[in-house]
Amino acid sequence: MDPLHLRTRDERGIRMEPILHPEDKEDRKHGTDDFPFALYDNYLRYPYFSRYTIDPHWHEEMEFLLVVRGNARVLRDGEFVEVGEGEALFIPPRTFHAAESLDHQPFHFIALVFHLDLLEGEVQDVCHKRYFTGIKKRLLSFPGVISRKTLWGKAILHELMEVVDLADHKGPGYELGIKGALFKVFSLIFSHGVVQKSEVAGDVYAVEKILPALEYIKEHYQENLSVDDLARLVYLSKYHFIREFKRLTGRTPVEFINRYRVHKAMAMLIETDEKVLNVAYECGFNDMSYFIRLFHRFTGLTPAQYRRAYAPRGVKTGGR
């Protein structure tokens, strides 16, 4: 996965899709019923986002995240992993994850998302029993960053880029090529002994336990939210809720809510000409001074400065 090669792909017109509000992937269908594979090629740039450029989410599918340009800090089951240009990250099924660009620099990534049903036939053969079942049940722990520093990493990156090329051009037989390359990826992973027994299999259930609270925050961020209410929502004590929430998201519930509200405020400041005061209230902040202080902490700018710097020409920037 040569960064120069990937830059050439950019120059020859590979689609780079800036997404202002990435959808929650757990609600998105990846691929089709008869070919559950999808490639997402995204170019995310600060400051149109909060530091999280990919909202925390999880899905039934597996994912390989390839960094084309920039550097990313990826949250994966409560742990942060830094991934650099030309590297990739393995994200197992049902794994809670998110990502942010480092140093507020542009972040171009390709996500290969596919269901293991793509590689499993109707007959539960040895591949299903020996390899894919362990992946599905989160019984296996895979390597973090895949880089060119190791022979197996270089070989895996080569196969992943083969998948990208096949999915991009969609020539005759490309589906067979994609399946073949993905089989090769797993063959390389298992044959080089980089798979271990997982210590986080229980996190699958923790994700399902905490997810209703996350969905509630996203739907009710404009309202007054209390940690006690969120804990009751998922039938956990306040102590256990905070502990599990932070373990999975890397943030306390209050930190997560504040960041999510600021994220929404950033979008409103750029997309609308609402007064800053109205933006604060619309995003769940009842204290204007607290909103400005928090916004400055996350972005380095006041809301008014942010709007003047980054709002499109058609958006008025004078309102407070």
Q: Tokens for 275, please give them.
A: 């007064």
65 DSSP β-pair partners: 89, 111
Same domain, 38 and 170: yes
Higher pLDDT: 320 or 67? It is 67
Same domain for 112 and 167? yes
- The Cα 134–Cα 159 span in angstroms is 22
Q: Is residue 254 part of a domain?
A: yes
Number of domains into which the chain is organized: 2
| Averaged pLDDT, 241-261 | 90
Report yes or no on 318 lying in a domain.
no
Considering only 16-25, 69-78, 80-89, 288-297, which range has the smallest mean pLDDT?
16-25
316 domain residue, yes or no: no
pLDDT at 11 over 60: no
Average pLDDT over residues 203-222: 83
**DSSP, residue by residue, 25-40:** GGGS--SBTTB-EEEE
Q: What is the pLDDT of residue 20?
A: 30
Same domain, 70 and 128: yes
Neighbour-count burial for 143-175, b at 16+ CB within 10 Å, e otherwise: bbbbbbeeeebebbbbbbbbbbbbbeeeeeeee
Question: Rounded to 5, what percent of the chain is helix, strand, coil?
Answer: 45, 20, 35
For residues 162 and 206, what is the distance between their CA atoms, to the nearest angstrom? 35
User: Are residues 187 and 210 located together in one domain of the fold?
Assistant: no
25 shares a domain with 135: yes
Domain extent, residue 187, equals 3-197
Q: Give a yes or no: residue 171 inside a domain.
A: yes
pLDDT score of 19: 31
Q: What is the CATH number of the domain that holds 304?
A: 1.10.10.60
176, 197, 218 - which closes a domain = 197
In a domain, 315, yes or no: no
305 assigned to some structural domain: yes
